[in-house]
């Protein structure tokens, strides 16, 4: 008996060797036999592009490292490229070079996909190679592939999720420990859940990019981050949290993508990310800490929820490696997986046309006739009030009363006009809070 001929390895170029990249490199080098058995050919890590060489990276051959990412992705012997450097440039140029050179690409770059995914998909299709991106949304949670493949025979009507672990950690702590936003943000930074500059998380930019990707896949239409209505959580106060609890609700930062009825029966898309109150009975209400969850509604499969760690080196590396094995298998078979699906080309409606329920908190004069004047303001702008409650205790040191209003479903534009009118009423001291009520 003779030994089988050695298999030609698939050569992998890795761009970035941070927390996630180093874990990916470790698995490729230390679990090579398992990966070979799963793929059918071995993987060979042929180069790692970093900003600086000479830094000790235990377990990795120093000879692999280079600062010349352009030359690495342009090599004609590279079969697979894993991009983990993030941002728009040079990531876009490097990915396009790899795709046009015939290499399949795995990326976790949500910002780039949300801004210019169309260009990347077009390059991959023209070259007949793969572009996979499971790690771009919700870390280890498998949500991209179900939307892209498992549910492709169904009609998805809505995707709603907690897709940013930092904001979920902050809001969860504000509920469970009655802590203020600033204190919990500082704790999140000390634990490594939040960056030194937390703007991308707390102002909703990270979630908006992920919402754009989810909406594009779910509704077979091109949606960019610029199409997403975005609000952060920095204005959420303990009084908002207490009000939610009094309504048997929880405040969560949500990404919400829905099919909406349009004119002449044509469907449109709404895509938004913002804090909202959701009933404690909703599956997303119990998602705590830095965890993520995505809730999907479809015509035939019904309601599905995907839950798990949304960030971190090992969980995100798991998603990257899952994609890497898949594109490597495709390479072995001489095939390519699904590309961009944008046949529907549904338009994204402006936020003013999106309808939902609202919670409002007002500080007003404590005198007869105020409730009627407030109710009339809502009626004038065709916003129906579901409940209106007066609380006798104003903020410390302020005279007056606090009104808590919950509306029936209303267009955002009508609600915004109502709030503007309320602020002009002499009996209203201040509109303290406005928040959407979702998930019912």
195 is in an annotated binding site: yes
H helices of 128-234, where?
144-145, 165-176, 181-190, 199-202, 205-219
Residue 7 DSSP symbol? P
16 is in an annotated binding site: yes
Query: Is residue 12 within 8 Å of residue 44, measured between CB atoms?
Result: yes
302 is in an annotated binding site: no
Q: What SS3 class is residue 280?
A: coil
C-alpha to C-alpha distances, 6 to 1, 2, 9, 42, 431, nearest whole angstrom: 15, 12, 9, 10, 72
Using alpha carbons, select from 75, 133, 70, 131 the residue that is nearest to residue 101. Answer: 75
Q: Which tokens sit at 173? A: 């702590």
CA–CA gap between residue 363 and residue 401 (Å, rounded): 6
Instruction: Please state the φ and ψ torsions of residue 70, each to the nearest 5 degrees.
Output: -60, -45
17 is in an annotated binding site: yes
Residues in the chain, total: 440
332 is in an annotated binding site: no
22 is in an annotated binding site: yes
Query: Would you name the residues annotated as active-site residues?
Result: 210
CA–CA gap between residue 55 and residue 60 (Å, rounded): 11
Question: What angle (nearest 5°) sits at the alpha carbon of residue 168, between those of residues 162 and 174?
Answer: 145
Q: Which tokens sit at 160? A: 């709603």
Known binding-site residues equal 15-22, 110, 195
Known binding-site residues for NADPH equal 110
Known binding-site residues for L-homoserine equal 195
């Amino acid at each position: 008996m003779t030994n089988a001929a050695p298999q030609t390895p698939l050569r992998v170029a890795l761009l970035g060797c941070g927390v996630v990249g180093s874990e990916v490199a470790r698995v490729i080098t230390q679990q090579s036999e398992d990966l070979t058995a799963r793929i059918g050919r071995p993987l060979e890590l042929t180069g790692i592009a970093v900003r600086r060489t000479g830094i000790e990276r235990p377990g990795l051959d120093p000879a692999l490292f280079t600062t010349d990412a352009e030359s690495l992705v342009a090599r004609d012997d590279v079969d697979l490229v894993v991009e983990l450097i993030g941002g728009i440039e040079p990531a876009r140029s490097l990915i396009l070079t790899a795709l046009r050179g015939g290499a399949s690409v795995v990326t976790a770059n949500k910002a780039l996909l949300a801004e210019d995914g169309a260009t990347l998909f077009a390059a991959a299709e023209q070259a007949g190679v793969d572009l996979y991106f499971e790690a771009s949304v919700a870390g280890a949670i498998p949500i991209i592939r179900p939307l892209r493949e498992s549910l492709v025979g169904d009609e998805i009507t809505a995707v709603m999720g907690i897709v940013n672990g930092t904001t979920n950690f902050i809001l969860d702590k504000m509920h469970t420990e009655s802590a203020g936003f600033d204190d919990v943000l500082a704790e999140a930074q000390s634990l490594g859940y939040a960056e030194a500059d937390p703007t991308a998380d707390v102002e909703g930019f990270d979630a908006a990019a992920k919402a754009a990707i989810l909406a594009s896949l779910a509704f077979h239409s091109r949606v960019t981050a610029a199409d997403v209505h975005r609000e952060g959580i920095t204005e959420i106060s303990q009084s908002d949290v207490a009000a939610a609890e009094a309504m048997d609700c929880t405040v969560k930062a949500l990404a919400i993508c829905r099919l909406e009825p349009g004119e002449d029966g044509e469907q449109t898309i709404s895509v938004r990310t913002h804090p909202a109150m959701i009933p404690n009975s909703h599956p997303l209400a119990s998602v705590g800490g830095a965890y993520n969850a995505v809730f999907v509604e479809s015509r035939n499969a019904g309601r599905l929820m995907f839950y798990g760690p949304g960030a971190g080196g090992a969980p995100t590396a798991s998603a990257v490696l899952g994609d890497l094995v898949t594109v490597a298998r495709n390479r072995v078979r001489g095939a390519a997986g699904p590309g961009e699906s944008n046949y529907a080309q549904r338009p994204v409606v402006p936020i003013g046309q999106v309808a939902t329920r609202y919670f409002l908190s007002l500080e007003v004069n404590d005198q007869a006739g105020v409730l009627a004047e407030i109710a009339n303001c809502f009626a004038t702008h065709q916003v129906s009030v579901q409940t209106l409650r007066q609380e006798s205790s104003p903020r410390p040191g302020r005279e007056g009363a606090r009104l808590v209003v919950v509306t029936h479903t209303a267009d955002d534009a009508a609600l915004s006009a109502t709030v503007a009118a309320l602020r002009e009423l002499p009996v209203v001291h201040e509109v303290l809070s406005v928040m959407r009520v979702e998930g019912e």
